[in-house]
Structure 1
């Protein structure tokens, strides 16, 4: 699991950069494997993505963006 102190949360980004959206839903475009980056579609753009708790996330899965580390989004699966 990633240490929350090692990345910026969506809320802290919105405070640092006024106007940044706090929309947090995205979709896995390229599968994310444990401790490996995949691709995430978020706000009509594509980002690298990694799962916060080192799980596999298949392509097409809906995810919550919880933060960012450089050019990589930190995501968690949305469970219903």
Structure 2
């Protein structure tokens, strides 16, 4: 019984942890691509705002919201 409960907890935690760890990876991709991105200055400003919003949401534990903001930023700079 304890083994089944432990397995269930493990299977619930592992995907959440993997999901949470993708936010920093996306932020790093944005940080690497932004300096050489050939987009309008207004779009660069928007990308920076979305990246900051994603970081804030990640820190607050809202990883779905964080990924949504970060992926929107990625699409704006073409990565």
TM-score (norm. length: structure 2): 0.25
Give the structure with the larger helix fraction. Answer: 2
Larger Cα Rg: Structure 1 or Structure 2?
Answer: 2
TM-score where L is the length of structure 1: 0.25
